């Protein structure tokens, strides 16, 4: 789009210049040295034999009278068919001239292709030159040098304490290199930051440069590769040449997998542009000519596709894992982002951190921003805990679909379904605490039961997994008890899928079957034995039949357990349904009232009491 807009701009400029010059030429050639007379008066003078000579140029007529005075007149419309006849009858000399208007238009039209070609050529030349005015500048590095405003430090990075500790010696080396060199120590030439998207790899690299107060070159892996062979390698050489002048410094290559993929596996063998660029980068990092004082930091979320030569000692000596933050890390990240917004006294980042397992730093930043937008939309002066909860629910479960019309019957079925999940999860051992229940549709779900883990769960026991299966079937069992087997809805489809998948993994991968023992019968996947897998040929039909029986046994046992629990607490099931129909959303304190068979307290001021 930039190239096309630049071409259009140049074309317009050239056309304006051309029109101006032609207009000036016209005004010089045909200046206003004659007065203009009405055409009717001209016809009258012809009839009275006062005209000696006429020069006709299109609609323009330059008239010479018998007294040698002159004037100009114009034919109305496009043509007067009787004019020539009338002039001939009165012996007026007629001189025809070429139409100047047509001449000007023809000349202008003949110039347009030339102007257009000049504009295209100029745009292509600027693209090749990359705006630097040098025909060979396309081989220059696109790395941007940041010397100032590097205010990001390690204090601005949270949720990755181990990664910060790994890179702290880089900062110390850049500050005081002699401390390491006098003992013969060598700082790693390259550091590879590995982790999922949004975990803060780029932020960590900027923090290293900010702490060390050294120049910081930043470039993306895709900036090296062009359609011209050899350009990428030239840019690598130029980047290291510039960095050597600013040493000690840091070169940060984001998404290095764009240029560092394993060689010999793509199209073109070893002669394509990407591999040429990678070869040059390998030589610059560890070749005959050392680049002392240059530390390369690269980031990727796909280390498995990188070339082995790039990962060997001497190049990227150190790999730093920047993983998803744990509950403590999420709390630190939330506090970091909450520093810039006005908060109410009821906000509790610990609760938000507990309810956001698997969130990255970018996800948590987005959560805080969404809460700020919700508070601003409601014309609040502070961001409250309720805004943070709504933002979390919006990100995790989707926007509330209050416009979706549900009948009273559908609401009642949804309320019984979610109440069944809640009661089972509350009474089975080792299940995560219930945070809240809602029958307000979100996304594709008509209702949701939200859990709040006390800590991040790293491993699961057999008892915890079976409790999860029972809780998943709690919704279907509740519908079956209240409405009968023939009136069970399709709302439990996802619950059945999750429960079956857990049961199959317990039998085929995690060794929780007493009959089959701790053996691997299926590789990691969707939980179903792949007939084309290597393990499939070692599994007999008898073993496959036993696997199915063990899975069915697990499901039936936990399904029956859920039924027994709900039958014993049928009064709580009805009371929880009534509370959901009344309030639409109930939280942990109200659930405790229901499970203790107490009157449900109203939702007013529950957030403040819960935080206390």
Contact (CB, 8 A) for 560 and 466:
no
Consult the annotation and say whether 443 binds a ligand.
no
| Token pair belonging to 547 | 């696997």
Residues in Cβ contact with 522 at an 8 Å cutoff, skipping those fewer than 6 apart: 504, 505, 508, 509, 528, 529, 530, 533, 535
Catalytic residue among 255, 275, 418, 466: 418
C-alpha distance from residue 61 to each of 24, 73, 95 (Å): 21, 5, 10
Consult the annotation and say whether 515 binds a ligand.
no
Print the SS3 string covering 422-461: HHHHHHCCCCCCEEEEECCCECCECCEEEECCCCCCCCCC
E strand or H helix at 95: strand 93-96
Q: Cα(19)–Cα(13) distance, rounded to whole angstroms?
A: 10
Alpha helices in 30-51 (DSSP H): 39-47
Q: Cα(20)–Cα(14) distance, rounded to whole angstroms?
A: 10
Consult the annotation and say whether 495 binds a ligand.
yes
Closest CA relative to residue 565, chosen from 436, 413, 426, 466: 426
Consult the annotation and say whether 303 binds a ligand.
no
Residue 137 per-residue DSSP state = G
Contact (CB, 8 A) for 322 and 194:
yes
Contact (CB, 8 A) for 344 and 383:
yes
- Bridge-based pairing of strands 249-254 and 60-65 is unpaired
Residues in Cβ contact with 577 at an 8 Å cutoff, skipping those fewer than 6 apart: 412, 415, 416, 419
Closest CA relative to residue 306, chosen from 260, 348, 352: 260
Residues in Cβ contact with 261 at an 8 Å cutoff, skipping those fewer than 6 apart: 274, 278, 305, 306, 307
Consult the annotation and say whether 196 binds a ligand.
yes
The gap from C-alpha 451 to its chain's centroid, in whole angstroms, comes to 28
| Token pair belonging to 307 | 């070339």
Among this protein's residues, is 418 annotated catalytic? Answer: yes
Consult the annotation and say whether 195 binds a ligand.
yes
Q: Cα(595)–Cα(496) distance, rounded to whole angstroms?
A: 25
Consult the annotation and say whether 417 binds a ligand.
yes
End-to-end CA distance of the chain: 57
Contact (CB, 8 A) for 132 and 226:
no
Q: Cα(134)–Cα(18) distance, rounded to whole angstroms?
A: 29
Q: Cα(166)–Cα(187) distance, rounded to whole angstroms?
A: 12
Consult the annotation and say whether 557 binds a ligand.
no
Consult the annotation and say whether 342 binds a ligand.
no
Consult the annotation and say whether 29 binds a ligand.
no
Consult the annotation and say whether 197 binds a ligand.
yes
Contact (CB, 8 A) for 310 and 275:
no
Binding residue numbers for Zn(2+): 417, 421, 495
Binding residue numbers for ATP: 195-202
Cite the active site residues: 418
Binding residue numbers: 195-202, 417, 421, 495
């Amino acid at each position: 789009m930039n190239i096309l807009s630049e071409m259009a701009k140049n074309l317009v400029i050239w056309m304006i210049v051309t029109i101006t010059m032609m207009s000036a030429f016209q005004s010089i050639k045909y200046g206003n040295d004659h007065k203009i007379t009405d055409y009717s008066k001209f016809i009258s003078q012809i009839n009275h034999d006062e005209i000696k000579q006429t020069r006709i140029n299109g609609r323009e007529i330059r008239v010479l009278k018998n007294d040698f005075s002159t004037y100009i007149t114009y034919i109305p419309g496009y043509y007067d068919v009787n004019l020539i006849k009338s002039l001939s009858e009165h012996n007026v000399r007629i001189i025809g001239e070429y139409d100047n208007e047509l001449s000007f238009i023809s000349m202008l039209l003949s110039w347009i292709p030339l102007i257009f070609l000049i504009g295209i050529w100029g745009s292509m030349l600027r693209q090749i030159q990359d705006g630097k005015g040098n025909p060979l500048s396309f081989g220059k590095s696109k790395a941007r040098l940041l010397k100032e405003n590097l205010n990001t430090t390690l204090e601005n990075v949270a949720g990755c304490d181990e990664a910060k500790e790994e890179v702290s010696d880089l900062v110390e080396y850049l500050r005081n290199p002699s401390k390491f060199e006098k003992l013969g120590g060598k700082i790693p030439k390259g550091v590879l930051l590995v982790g999922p998207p949004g975990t803060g790899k780029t932020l960590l690299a900027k923090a290293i440069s900010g702490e060390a107060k050294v120049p910081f070159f930043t470039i993306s892996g895709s900036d090296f590769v062009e359609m011209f062979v050899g350009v990428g390698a030239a840019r690598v050489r130029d980047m290291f040449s510039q960095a050597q002048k600013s040493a000690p410094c840091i070169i940060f290559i984001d998404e290095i997998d764009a240029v560092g993929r394993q060689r010999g596996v793509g199209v073109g063998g070893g002669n394509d542009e990407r591999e040429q660029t990678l070869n040059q980068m390998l030589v610059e990092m560890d070749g005959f000519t050392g680049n002392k004082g240059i530390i390369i930091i690269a980031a990727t979320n796909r280390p498995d596709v990188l070339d082995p030569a790039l990962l060997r000692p001497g190049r990227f000596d150190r790999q730093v894992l920047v993983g998803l933050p744990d509950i403590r890390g999420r709390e630190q990240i939330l506090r970091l982002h909450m520093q810039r917004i006005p908060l109410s006294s009821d906000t509790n980042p610990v609760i938000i951190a507990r309810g956001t397992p698997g969130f990255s730093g970018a996800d948590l930043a987005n959560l805080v921003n969404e809460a700020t937008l919700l508070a601003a939309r409601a014309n609040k002066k502070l961001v409250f805990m309720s805004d943070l909860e709504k933002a979390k629910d919006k990100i995790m479960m989707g926007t509330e679909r209050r416009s979706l019309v549900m009948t009273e019957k559908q609401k009642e079925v949804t309320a019984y379904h979610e109440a069944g999940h809640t009661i089972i999860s509350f009474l089975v051992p080792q299940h995560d605490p219930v945070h809240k229940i809602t029958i307000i549709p979100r996304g594709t779900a008509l209702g949701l039961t939200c859990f709040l883990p006390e800590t991040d769960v790293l491993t699961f026991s057999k008892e915890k997994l079976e409790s999860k299966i029972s809780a998943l079937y709690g919704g279907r069992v509740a519908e079956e008890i209240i409405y009968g087997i023939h009136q069970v809805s399709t709302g439990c489809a996802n619950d059945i899928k999750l429960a079956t998948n857990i049961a199959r993994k317990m039998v085929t991968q995690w060794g929780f079957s007493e009959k089959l023992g701790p053996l691997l019968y299926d590789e990691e996947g969707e939980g179903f034995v792949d007939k084309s897998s290597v393990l499939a040929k070692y599994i007999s039909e008898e073993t496959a039949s036993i696997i199915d029986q063990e899975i069915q046994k697990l499901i039936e046992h936990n399904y029956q357990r859920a039924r027994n629990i709900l039958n014993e607490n049928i009064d709580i099931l009805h009371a929880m349904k009534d509370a959901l129909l009344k309030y639409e959303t109930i939280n942990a304190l109200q659930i405790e009232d229901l499970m203790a068979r107490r009157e449900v307290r109203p939702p007013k001021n529950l957030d403040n009491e819960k935080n206390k």
